[in-house]
Structure 1
Amino acid sequence: MKFPSTQTFINIDNIRNDIIILKGGKMRAILKVSSTNLALKSQEEQEATVFSYQNFLNALDFPIQILVSSRFMNLDNYVKNLQNLVDKQPTELMQMQTQEYINFIEEFLSQAHIITTDFYVVIPFELIDIEVDEGGGGERLKSLLGKQSELGSLEPEKFLSYKKQITQRAEFVASNLHRIGLEAKLLTTEELISLFWSLYNPEDLRKRGVIQSVFT
């Protein structure tokens, strides 16, 4: 018996030109946002930050989603790179110090896990067309695409038009977050694939070679 693939249960149809295409004619863009520590700010700075955030929310005329992703940080490559630098140190003393630092890092990692937290804002865009019924003159909402998979194969002109609109939303969000003191970056196709791979495969993050072909 052949079981359905995992992608059957995922609502993503395709990832194209930095845009997520969902099943059912919907698009998403994702901004990765920096963080700030309110506890380290003065009372006046905290109030100003909260006020700016309120203004940001009030200025939105479309919904957004906020995603917080926490995961264990993998420092294997960092330790490996340090190990490669040991023999390249100009003096024996520096070689010993580098090795001692590596031993310290490995000992620390054996006793504790380092967790990294990333923050994202999901920007939605739905292709909805208002069509007037010929009979009663009423309006009904109709998806521009009849089949779920057609959006991923749109001709370049239409796709670029839709992408421009969702990108404008992303730029609007990024500029307002900048006023709060937060930096926002639109994720690329490769970064989006890597993000979803890490979300759906939290225990298998080292298989980076598979990432390239997940949505092909």
Structure 2
Amino acid sequence: MSPAQSSKSKEALPTQKFVEVKGTKDGVLILKNGSLRQILAVSGINFDLKSEDEQQAIVASYQSFLNSLNFSLQIFVHSRKINTESYVEHLQELEAREVNPLLKTQLGEYREFIKSFTIENAIMSKNFFVVVPYDPIQIPGKGSGGVLGFFGKKKKGAEAQKKQADAEDATITKQLSQLAQRTDQITTGLNQLGLRSVALNDDEVVELFYNLYNPDAVEKKGLDLSDDNEKKAA
């Protein structure tokens, strides 16, 4: 391979090469080192509008919640420009169906106002997330950890590889179950604080990472924290 071809191949490396995520399974992130991560979208509360007694109760409950955990958590806030395209399209459809000339004119003026306002002013939304981790036990001298690290190097032969694959599947299923227990603990604790949480599915995880790595682009859709979506997740 010539130096020019080598340089071109290096420039063509996809973004995935620099992300520590190997894939997703049922909304769970599987990292390249075998660790697992569950991302929860969490609703918010307006702390400033609470009374002093309510604020103290929330702080005390939050402190008790954190003290009950025997593992770490990642909490992050993602600020994002709101995508108003679907709303503008909805207004355009209403305008097209309206038969009253006055209302039709008002809808058109309102639609143009929304379009011009969002161009001149960035309307931001904030989404709150909690990342629940599970890091498998690493055995010294057995590779890089995780499922493959637990079983060491792959054995040769189709039968040996099949046994190894079955053992790996059983191990990751057990790890997913342990992560689910942690997630249930976090969901229950947040619910006691008055915060509703929903585990992201595969599509929502992909969109979240797309939004994180493409900050200049508007999001395709928002995250639904409604009760119906929570029942589906359950």
| Same fold? TM cut 0.5 | yes
Aligned length: 195
2:52 matches 1:39: no
Match of 2:136 in 1: 127
8 Å contact kept, 1:21–1:27: yes
Identity over the aligned pairs, expressed in percent? 36
Give 1:1-216 correspondences, 5 Å limit: 1-3=8-10, 4-128=13-137, 143-146=146-149, 156-205=169-218
Structure 1 unpaired stretches of 5+: 134-140, 148-152, 209-216
Aligned residue identity for 1:62: F
- Structure 1 segments (4+ residues) deviating >6 Å: none
The one-letter code matched in structure 2 to 1:118 is N
Q: Deviations over 1:34-86 (max 9, x none)?
A: 01111111111111111111011001111110011111112122112211221
- Counterpart CA distance in 2 for 1:106 and 1:194 is 24
Q: In proportion to residue count, which structure has more strand? A: 1
Pairwise CA RMSD: 2.4
Greater length-normalized contact order (CA 8 Å, ≥ 6 residues apart): 1
Deviations 1:119-161 (A, max 9, x none): 1000000111568x9xxxxxxx9644238xxxxx876544332
Normalised TM-score (structure 2): 0.76
Structure with the largest fraction of helix: 2
Give structure 2 stretches of 5+ with no counterpart: 1-7, 153-164, 222-234
Match of 1:118, SS? strand
Question: Under a length normalisation based on structure 1, what TM-score does the superposition of the two structures give?
Answer: 0.82
Conserved 8 A contact 1:197-1:205: no
CA displacement at 1:90 relative to structure 2:
4.0
